[in-house]
Amino acid sequence: MNDAQLLRYARHILLDEFGIESQEKLLAARVLVIGAGGLGSPAALYLASAGVGHIILADHDTIELSNLQRQILHRDDRVGQLKAESGRQTMLALNPDITVEVRTARMEPETLLAEIAAVDLVLDCTDNFATRHAVNRACVQHRKPLVSGAAIRFEGQISVFDPRDAEAPCYHCLFPEADDVEALSCATTGVFAPLVGIIGSMQAAEAIKVIAGVGQTLKGRLLMLDAFDMQWHSVRVKRDPACPVCSVRT
């Protein structure tokens, strides 16, 4: 690290459990953030400020006025612009020391596989089950850690799925894919603005811990938040030995 980096990341380096070695791991890391909306906004901002050296921000959607209630990557004068491009602008304004790439086309399965193969870790900040399952399958196939978050109404949840550990569950173990699952949308059910900030920030925290190799992550646990009553609940999650996704990994 150069002198400017030592100063910028000094508060990380001062942590006995973190130090220069962990910060250097962040600077060398390549991370894919899928979704530049409510969850992706705080997640991407904290990854950028913390010094994750190479971040790929993927989102094909454009900014709408109704997004600004919670999607803090974006600004009023950017309504109509691509979220990924807006996110990149905000992230680099916060920390020009990093590299931010954008992906503005909808990711097809082949593209998703290629993108995930080239990174160290993935954050799923999307809002639909089909994408979450596609991301999970690609992460399992390439043995890439996945930090998954979700938020709707006043309810949020977060977990870490790490296929590098043969005993760890994948997303499908916890939420089996089914055709009859009804996906809820913020556009129809609403979402409490600070909730996505809480969950998205926690996704960044878990991602940083995984990359740096510090602390205890949420691998094998699902942490749930009821923000209406401000109650947290944690449950253990075991790998399904019959899971059609991760039971066949070699």
Tell me the domains of the chain and their CATH numbers: 3-236 (3.40.50.720)
Contacts of 25 (CB under 8 A, 6+ apart): 211, 212, 213
Percent of the chain with pLDDT over 70: 96
pLDDT tens digits for range 58-93: 999 999 999 999 999 999 999 999 999 999 999 999
- What pTM does this model have? 0.95
Q: Whole-angstrom Cα distance, residue 211 to residue 189?
A: 35
Evaluated on CA atoms 46, 195, 207, 135, the torsion sign reads negative
Q: How crowded is the C-beta side of 182, counted as CA atoms within 13 Å?
A: 3
Contacts of 180 (CB under 8 A, 6+ apart): none
Mean pLDDT of the chain: 94
Q: Whole-angstrom Cα distance, residue 194 to residue 155?
A: 11
Amino acid 109: pLDDT: 85
Amino acid 181: pLDDT: 54
Contacts of 11 (CB under 8 A, 6+ apart): none
In 3D space, the residue among 97, 100, 80, 96 whose CA is nearest the CA of residue 40 turns out to be 100
Residue-by-residue DSSP string for 181-210:
PPPP-HHHH-B-HHHHHHHHHHHHHHHHHH
pLDDT tens digits for range 150-200: 999 999 999 999 999 999 999 999 999 875 455 666 667 899 999 999 999
As given in the structure block, the two tokens for residue 87 are: 């996110």
**H-only helix segments in the chain:** 3-8, 10-13, 19-28, 40-50, 83-94, 109-117, 129-142, 171-174, 186-189, 193-212
Amino acid 246: pLDDT: 94
Q: Do β-strands 99-103 and 231-236 pair in parallel, antiparallel, or remain unpaired?
A: unpaired
